[in-house]
Chain A
């Protein structure tokens, strides 16, 4: 040996290698250090202004604006091209060869990025205490706001990481904007918490609840955050995994469990509560999750190797039947998506069922039917034949643009009845309904639902024809299982 190397003591062996690598790199990046320094400089300057009798509301607003921007925008943005960079640099291949599973790569990257975000969140605490010292600050509400921002940061980071597996930069920018739009309600809620006096009553109402109710709410929110983070990471992992691996079955099983739990919660809230609209608290997250999961499973590539199917194929007829729901690929994704949509719509149906005690007709439910059926359109319309993920988004975007143009045309030409033309696709139908006269809206809504259902039926037919791929691979998997003997399998 030439010289003795120094032992690297910065991270224990217990840490995941990816976490170690990402933290070593991440903490040294100019982006992280400069944004952290800039952030603290702004916050310190802000605190200094308090001593000069600056309005507390203004200081609060800027403080939380900067903190929110840092946690919801700056820190998650570091995941924007994380996987794409690994792929183009060729380092993703090196990681694959180390036998680190794709999910662990995503998880490691997320842990490293999120721990840096938590570092930033933690560094805000002393300033919160200082502002509390100067007065005019409700510390409990602020802590809740900080926790909400931190949770939101985790979800956004996971989403951006998952989407970073996509090569087209325009698509990634578009998806990042969509994620950003999804974070706007969280921003508003945080602003409400830290600035509005009504937030006090909200906090008081929460503490007035029973312990189990408090636990249910907090536990439910945390469980949802964990699931959404898991799902996004699993989505990204399935996009970078070798085609011979199955990253879909487990993901779908967990999705079924979570969506089922939300559906049951929603139905219980609907039928056991005097106010069925309370079930919307379960329905809204279920709706968002259903759309995300459908987008994912409907854009999965069909499997090419029997190894991706062997887990279920070896469990006899029941396993193969379950495979039509759980195998990787868009064909089983159509069936799976249909099941998830029915689960979500069951809550809406429940609320409509109990509408006698509440001002609710079947309109919102039918709107939702149209919205859910929109996810199936890209299965039939293939504008991009090589990348189903890109295709899904392009088709939806084109539908929205078409809908907006149709609405503008109808309104500018004062030809409101032309909105009927939109009913041929679910998304344009939703736009068209806003154009038509109120008296005929309900009839057109029914017609739109019927036309939209045609897309589902067409997608089902297309999926059924593609099931032959599964059948072929199932036979291969069974043949493989018969051929493989322990002797041939084990290294000599």
Chain B
């Protein structure tokens, strides 16, 4: 694979299902060894884009190259470079974990002892060896996802496309999966991963792609996303007081420049119409002067989820301005606008 070119290049792809435009001019590229999160609401076009990249669907127009090979013209070459893990997959009935992996290893061309060695490596990596004789359709969701990841890794692909791998997993299984992906990233694999759990994506990924209504709306790292959707003249602070929180609420209702964002068990989240640190300190001083027993007063960091929801709202109102991208080549035409 030519490492001087990006591992993945997606150029202005469109895909419609009847009158529905599932993907509408998506463009981006991913360098080798990067871990990129793919974020979007249900029906935003994530899975369709990923399926096109995985040669399982074809674009109505546009071009997708994986490792320098066009997915339409050279699907076989692309498939050799690619590991694909779908959002939901059925395991086969009446087939053990070992037989399941054995089948895919055969299908990928592994023979004899080589096949067993590769299956052994994959099962050890995904910690499936103790489950070798378990029926593949009788496993927990976490085990099934590990099996699916193992299948995707059998031919040691350099590029992995993981569609919602953590969906439906319990916290323990999610941590296990995250660790596996982290190891794969350390091995230098290029990974495109979609998920609804944005905080985890923020931790795992070098950069994030945000898609909405079939268009890429932001392409950059998590921080630039949070900064980009921040309202410039407001700050969110979390306040906790001793005793009844109703005192704080009553105080906030009469205080200037302060709005109550949310009441909490021991206080409230307040939106202060200023970002000036002296003003924020002045608000705390006034609280104490007015006799509020303040236990905790801190500025809240915006969560990625909040930023994403704010961004969708801003897009609906046509007020969204894409922040400058960070980390990944700015290929998206929407970003340029």
Which residues of A come within 8 Å of B, CB atoms? 1-8, 13, 17-18, 20-21, 24-25, 28-29, 88-91, 93-100, 242-244, 304-305, 307, 386, 480, 484, 488-489, 491-492
Q: For B86, give its contact among A20, A90, A99, A386 (CB under 8 Å).
A: A90
Is the beta-carbon distance between A242 and B58 smaller than 8 angstroms?
Answer: yes
Q: Is B336 an interface residue (CB 8 A)?
A: no
Q: Can you report 20 residue pairs joining A to B where beta carbons are below 8 Å apart?
A: A1-B129, A2-B124, A3-B129, A5-B132, A13-B111, A13-B112, A21-B92, A25-B92, A25-B93, A25-B95, A90-B90, A93-B51, A94-B84, A97-B54, A97-B56, A99-B76, A242-B75, A244-B58, A305-B58, A484-B73
Q: Which residues of B contact A21 (CB under 8 A)?
A: 92, 95, 99, 103
Q: Is B79 an interface residue (CB 8 A)?
A: yes
Is the beta-carbon distance between A96 and B92 smaller than 8 angstroms?
Answer: no
Assembly CA distance A489 to B60 (angstroms)? 23
Assembly CA distance A25 to B76 (angstroms)? 27
**With A6-B98, A29-B94 in contact, is A1–B73 under 8 Å at CB?**
no
The segment from B21-29, B115-123, B198-206 that touches chain A is B115-123
Is the beta-carbon distance between B69 and A491 smaller than 8 angstroms?
Answer: yes
Is the beta-carbon distance between B129 and A5 smaller than 8 angstroms?
Answer: yes
Is the beta-carbon distance between A97 and B79 smaller than 8 angstroms?
Answer: yes
Q: Which residues of B contact A6 (CB under 8 A)?
A: 98, 132
Closest beta carbon of chain A to B103's beta carbon, Å: 4
Q: For A491, give its contact among B56, B77, B89, B93 (CB under 8 Å).
A: B77
Is the beta-carbon distance between B108 and A98 smaller than 8 angstroms?
Answer: yes
**With A20-B103, A244-B72 in contact, is A97–B58 under 8 Å at CB?**
no
Assembly CA distance A8 to B99 (angstroms)? 8
Closest beta carbon of chain A to B128's beta carbon, Å: 10
Is the beta-carbon distance between B92 and A492 smaller than 8 angstroms?
Answer: no
Going nearest first, the 8 A-B pairs with the smallest beta carbon separation are A89-B90, A492-B2, A98-B107, A17-B106, A28-B94, A17-B107, A90-B89, A21-B103
Is the beta-carbon distance between A491 and B124 smaller than 8 angstroms?
Answer: no
Closest beta carbon of chain A to B11's beta carbon, Å: 15
Give the residue name and chain of the A residue nearest to B112 (CB). A13
Size class of the contact patch on chain B: 35 or more
Q: A93-B89, A491-B2 are in contact. List 15 more A-B contacts (CB 8 A).
A: A3-B129, A8-B99, A8-B102, A13-B115, A20-B103, A24-B99, A90-B90, A94-B104, A98-B108, A242-B55, A242-B56, A242-B58, A307-B73, A491-B1, A491-B69
Q: Which residues of B contact A492 (CB under 8 A)?
A: 1-3, 68
Is the beta-carbon distance between A5 and B120 smaller than 8 angstroms?
Answer: yes
Q: Which residues of A contact B58 (CB under 8 A)?
A: 242-244, 304-305
Q: Which residues of B contact A489 (CB under 8 A)?
A: 74
Is the beta-carbon distance between A1 and B107 smaller than 8 angstroms?
Answer: no
Give the residue name and chain of the B residue nearest to A89 (CB). B90
Q: Is B67 an interface residue (CB 8 A)?
A: yes
Assembly CA distance A99 to B102 (angstroms)? 16
Interface string of B135-170 (1 = CB under 8 A from A): 000000000000000010000000000000000000
Is the beta-carbon distance between A8 and B98 smaller than 8 angstroms?
Answer: yes
Q: Which residues of B contact A243 (CB under 8 A)?
A: 58
Most A Cβ at <10 Å: residue of B68, B79, B94, B119: B94
Is the beta-carbon distance between A93 and B86 smaller than 8 angstroms?
Answer: yes
Give the residue name and chain of the B residue nearest to A3 (CB). B129
Q: For A91, give its contact among B67, B92, B120 (CB under 8 Å).
A: B92
Q: For A100, give its contact among B68, B107, B115, B151 (CB under 8 Å).
A: B107
Q: Is B88 an interface residue (CB 8 A)?
A: yes
Closest beta carbon of chain A to B117's beta carbon, Å: 9
Assembly CA distance A281 to B179 (angstroms)? 68
Give the residue name and chain of the A residue nearest to B85 (CB). A94
Assembly CA distance A24 to B98 (angstroms)? 12
**With A7-B116, A491-B77 in contact, is A98–B104 under 8 Å at CB?**
yes
Q: Is B82 an interface residue (CB 8 A)?
A: yes
Closest beta carbon of chain B to A86's beta carbon, Å: 8
Q: Which residues of A contact B120 (CB under 8 A)?
A: 1, 4-5
Q: Is B171 an interface residue (CB 8 A)?
A: no
Q: Which residues of B contact A484 (CB under 8 A)?
A: 73
Q: Which residues of B contact A7 (CB under 8 A)?
A: 116
Assembly CA distance A109 to B104 (angstroms)? 15
Is the beta-carbon distance between A5 and B116 smaller than 8 angstroms?
Answer: yes
Q: For B73, give its contact among A24, A28, A480 (CB under 8 Å).
A: A480
Assembly CA distance A8 to B119 (angstroms)? 11
Is the beta-carbon distance between A2 and B90 smaller than 8 angstroms?
Answer: no
Q: For A5, give its contact among B69, B81, B104, B119 (CB under 8 Å).
A: B119
Is the beta-carbon distance between B102 and A90 smaller than 8 angstroms?
Answer: no
**Docked complex: B1-29 residues within 8 A CB-CB of A:** 1-3, 18
Q: Which residues of B contact A97 (CB under 8 A)?
A: 54-56, 79, 82, 84
Assembly CA distance A115 to B74 (angstroms)? 35
**With A90-B88, A243-B58, A491-B1 in contact, is A24–B95 under 8 Å at CB?**
yes
Assembly CA distance A6 to B74 (angstroms)? 37
Closest beta carbon of chain A to B305's beta carbon, Å: 28
Assembly CA distance A74 to B120 (angstroms)? 39
Closest beta carbon of chain A to B136's beta carbon, Å: 11
Q: Is B130 an interface residue (CB 8 A)?
A: yes
Is the beta-carbon distance between A305 and B72 smaller than 8 angstroms?
Answer: yes
Assembly CA distance A94 to B120 (angstroms)? 20
Closest beta carbon of chain B to A301's beta carbon, Å: 12
Is the beta-carbon distance between B55 and A491 smaller than 8 angstroms?
Answer: no
Give the residue name and chain of the B residue nearest to A92 (CB). B56
Is the beta-carbon distance between A244 and B75 smaller than 8 angstroms?
Answer: yes
Assembly CA distance A205 to B92 (angstroms)? 51
Is the beta-carbon distance between B119 and A91 smaller than 8 angstroms?
Answer: no
Q: Which residues of A contact B132 (CB under 8 A)?
A: 5-6
Q: Which residues of B contact A18 (CB under 8 A)?
A: 107
Give the residue name and chain of the B residue nearest to A93 (CB). B56
Q: Which residues of A contact B104 (CB under 8 A)?
A: 17, 94, 98
Q: Which residues of A contact B116 (CB under 8 A)?
A: 5, 7
Most B Cβ at <10 Å: residue of A5, A95, A307, A491: A5
Assembly CA distance A484 to B68 (angstroms)? 12
Closest beta carbon of chain B to A304's beta carbon, Å: 7
